Structure 1
Amino acid sequence: MELKEQTEALKIQLNRLNDKYENNAPPENKKDRQLFQKVKEETLPIYELLSTWEEDALKLIKERKINVHPQQITSTRENMELLLMHSYYIDVKRKRFMELNNSIHYIFDQLLREIE
């Protein structure tokens, strides 16, 4: 999968995480083992895609094919990892969640424009 497809797939996941955050109540018990297993199973493919995306994006930056700062890529991966957890555990204020969400979308969109 190329960087463009990876980025588009991650944008879809980001929108799903936003929906999950907006439409679900926080879990009653955050230490629930079943919840942990469910979160782990559902998020593993996203974590793997995010890791591949970061490697591929950094490689293109190194080859000077896209003009994005490497730290923006790393921060975006870290922010998306935070959002993954916040969207399941709903343990952060909406304003903070939306700031992270918008920041990630901004970099994804910037990357897509650079790839074009």
Structure 2
Amino acid sequence: MSTGMPAGIWLTKFGVIVSDYFGRVPYHVGSSLDSKQWRDVDVRLILPDDEFAARFGNNRSSDTNPKLAAITLAFAALGQQMTGLPIDFQIQPQSWANEHYPGPRSALIEIRPAEEGCQC
């Protein structure tokens, strides 16, 4: 982790990299959102069910899905390296995530200037 920038800014930068790769915004969730008593920082990428299945199949467990495990571990390691925080990164299908974890979610986004010539 680079010195001089707070971990929260690095967490947002990590989220931007995840979003740039997947085209979907990841979320900071869990106890570290609202408590000083936390053991890790939960970051979740929630994909539409069909997109999750196309990328990883129907097995949503990174314990038994090697493709999901590889990308999960890679992004968790990147997040930990960038932020210096114990990042728990997971990718979940949307319907399952909404059913099991309806709690608050904080989007890890960064406001960027519009591209030159953009008719946004």
TM bucket (normalised to shorter chain) is 0.3 to 0.5
Structure of greater relative contact order (alpha carbons < 8 Å, 6+ residues apart): 1
- Give the TM-score taking structure 2 as reference length: 0.39
Q: TM-score, with normalisation over the residues of structure 1?
A: 0.40
Higher helix share: 1
Structure with more strand by fraction? 2
